[in-house]
C-alpha cells in the first residue's frame, strides 16, 4: 500500500515516552493524521537518550553518514510527500545537495528547517539563493527573520514563535523564594555570579555542563551558592518554582539564548531579570513585561534591579502585572495538544504556496 503521508519530519533522535517531563515544541511525537516522523534513533526516556546518544562522540562525519542513511532508506516516502521538515541541519543540507545535483525532485514540495542561530542560514546563504523554491528557513525571532529575509528573500523565510509546555510550567500556590535561579548552558555571563554573591544574593546555577564545577570551585564553598548539573526535568521545575527570580545575563551571540528559560519562567509566574538580547527583548515587549530590561552586564546594575524585584514581590499590582504577561504569553507560545502544532504548520505552509499567495507576493515585489 502506498504511503499516504503528506508531512514528514526528519529527526536524528526522538523520545517515545513523555511522562514525567514537559513536551517540547516541534518534537516528532505525536504526529497528526497523514503525517509521520522518520527518526534515526528512538529512545524510551531521558536517561537512555543521555547515555546512548548525547554522551557518545558524534563527529560531523558520523552525523552526515547517519543522516544520509535515513534519507536513502526513506527515499520513496520523501519523494512522495508534500512537506519535509528537518529538525537537524544535516538532513536539510543533504537534501539541498541532492536537489542541486538533480538527484531529488522538489517540484510541489516544501522543505524546511528551523534556524536557532544566524549561522544556520548564513552558512547556507550562497546555496539557498540559487536553490529550488522548495527550500525554506524558519526563524523564531523577528530580528532573525528580518536579517534572513533581507539576504535570502522574503519568499525563503518564515517567522514562527517558539513554544513551551505551559501545562508543565504553571505558577505554584506557595512560593518559597529560596535562591535566584541562573539556568542555561550557553551564552551566559558566568563572571556576574561572584559579585552578586558578594552583594548578598543567593544563587542556584543550573545547567548540564559538568565543567562548571571547575569554574565555580571557589563559589561552591559559599552557602549562598548552589551548583546543580544534569538535573531532571522535575528537579528543574522545583528549583524554578522556589526561585524569587530567574537571572538571564546573556553575552552577545548570534542566537536567541535564554528564550526558552524566559518563556518557562514567565509561564510559571517567576520574575525574570535579563539584559537586552536577541529574542528576549522581543519577548518582553510582546508580553508587556513589568520588569525593565538591563542594558548591560554591570553587576551593580543587576544587584540594584534584583533588589527592586525583591521589594515588589508582595505587591498586588506587581503580581497582577506578572499574571497579565503570563496570559499574553499563553496566546502565542503554548504548545498545542496531540500534534496540532504540526497540523497547523503544514496547513499554513500549503496555504502560503497557493496561487493567490504567489500572485500577491509578486505584486508586492513589483509595486
Percent of the chain whose predicted confidence (pLDDT) is above 90: 83
**pTM for the structure as a whole:** 0.92
Of residues 169 and 3, more confidence is placed in: 169
Of residues 175 and 51, more confidence is placed in: 51
Task: With a cut of 70, say whether residue 367 has pLDDT above it.
Answer: no
Q: For residue 273, list its beta bridge partners.
A: 247
CB 128 within 8 A of CB 151: no
pLDDT interval class at 218 (50, 70, 90):
very high
Q: Which H or E run includes 362?
A: helix 355-366
Cis geometry, peptide bond prior to residue 30 (ω within 30 degrees of 0): yes
Task: With a cut of 90, say whether residue 365 has pLDDT above it.
Answer: no
Residue written as grid cell 546543580: 228
pLDDT interval class at 363 (50, 70, 90):
very low
pLDDT at 269: 96
Residue written as grid cell 537571572: 247
Task: With a cut of 70, say whether residue 192 has pLDDT above it.
Answer: yes
pLDDT at 45: 87
Average pLDDT, the chain: 92
Task: With a cut of 70, say whether residue 358 has pLDDT above it.
Answer: no
Task: With a cut of 90, say whether residue 112 has pLDDT above it.
Answer: yes
pLDDT at 361: 34
Distance CA(164)–CA(264), nearest Å, equals 7
End-to-end CA distance of the chain: 48
Query: Among 105, 98, 31, 50, which Cα is nearest to 70's?
Result: 98
- Cell numbers linked to 107: 517540484
CB 16 within 8 A of CB 44: yes
Would you say how long the chain is, in residues?
A: 367
Task: With a cut of 90, say whether residue 210 has pLDDT above it.
Answer: no
pLDDT interval class at 28 (50, 70, 90):
very high
- Cell numbers linked to 149: 529575509
Buried b (16+ CB within 10 A) or exposed e, 182-209: bbbeebbbeebbbebbeeebbbbbbbee
pLDDT interval class at 57 (50, 70, 90):
low
pLDDT at 19: 83
Task: With a cut of 70, say whether residue 366 has pLDDT above it.
Answer: no
pLDDT interval class at 338 (50, 70, 90):
confident
Q: For residue 62, list its beta bridge partners.
A: none
Helices (H) and strands (E) in the chain, counts: 16, 13
Beta-carbon contacts of residue 151 (< 8 Å; ≥ 6 apart) = 121, 122, 125
Q: Could you tell me the sign of the dihedral formed by the alpha carbons of 250, 253, 254, 255, in that order?
A: negative
Amino acid at each position: 500500500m502506498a504511503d499516504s503521508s503528506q508531512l514528514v519530519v526528519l529527526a536524528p533522535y526522538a523520545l517515545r515516552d513523555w511522562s514525567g517531563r514537559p513536551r517540547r515544541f516541534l518534537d516528532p511525537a505525536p504526529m497528526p493524521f497523514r503525517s509521520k516522523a522518520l527518526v534515526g534513533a528512538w529512545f524510551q526516556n531521558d536517561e537512555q537518550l543521555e547515555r546512548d546518544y548525547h554522551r557518545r562522540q558524534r563527529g560531523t562525519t558520523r552525523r552526515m553518514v547517519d543522516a544520509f542513511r535515513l534519507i536513502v532508506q526513506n527515499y520513496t516516502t520523501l519523494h512522495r510527500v508534500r512537506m519535509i521538515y528537518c529538525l537537524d541541519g544535516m538532513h536539510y543540507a543533504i537534501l539541498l545537495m541532492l536537489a542541486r545535483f538533480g538527484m531529488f525532485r522538489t517540484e510541489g514540495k516544501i522543505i524546511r528547517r528551523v534556524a536557532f542561530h544566524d549561522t544556520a542560514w548564513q552558512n547556507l546563504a550562497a546555496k539557498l539563493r540559487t536553490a529550488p523554491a522548495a527550500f525554506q528557513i524558519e526563524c523564531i525571532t523577528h530580528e532573525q527573520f528580518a536579517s534572513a529575509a533581507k539576504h535570502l528573500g522574503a519568499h525563503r523565510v518564515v517567522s514562527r514563535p517558539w513554544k513551551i509546555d505551559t501545562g508543565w510550567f504553571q505558577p505554584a500556590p506557595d512560593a518559597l523564594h529560596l535562591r535566584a535561579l541562573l539556568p542555561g548552558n550557553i551564552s551566559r555571563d558566568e563572571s556576574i555570579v561572584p559579585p552578586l554573591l558578594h552583594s548578598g544574593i543567593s544563587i542556584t546555577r543550573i545547567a548540564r555542563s559538568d565543567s562548571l564545577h571547575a569554574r565555580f570551585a571557589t563559589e561552591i564553598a559559599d552557602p549562598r551558592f548552589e551548583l546543580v548539573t544534569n538535573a531532571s526535568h522535575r528537579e528543574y521545575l522545583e528549583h524554578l518554582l522556589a526561585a524569587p527570580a530567574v537571572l538571564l545575563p546573556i553575552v552577545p551571540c548570534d542566537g536567541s539564548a535564554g528564550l526558552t528559560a524566559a518563556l518557562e519562567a514567565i509561564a510559571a509566574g517567576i520574575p525574570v531579570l535579563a539584559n537586552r538580547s536577541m529574542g528576549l527583548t522581543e519577548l518582553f515587549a510582546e508580553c508587556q513585561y513589568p520588569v525593565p530590561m538591563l542594558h548591560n552586564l554591570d553587576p551593580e546594575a543587576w544587584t540594584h534591579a534584583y533588589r527592586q524585584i525583591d521589594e515588589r514581590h508582595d505587591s498586588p499590582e506587581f503580581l497582577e502585572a506578572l499574571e497579565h504577561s503570563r496570559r499574553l504569553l499563553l496566546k502565542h507560545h503554548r504548545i498545542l495538544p496531540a500534534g496540532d502544532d504540526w497540523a497547523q504548520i503544514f496547513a499554513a505552509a500549503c496555504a502560503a504556496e497557493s496561487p493567490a499567495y504567489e500572485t500577491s507576493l509578486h505584486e508586492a515585489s513589483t509595486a
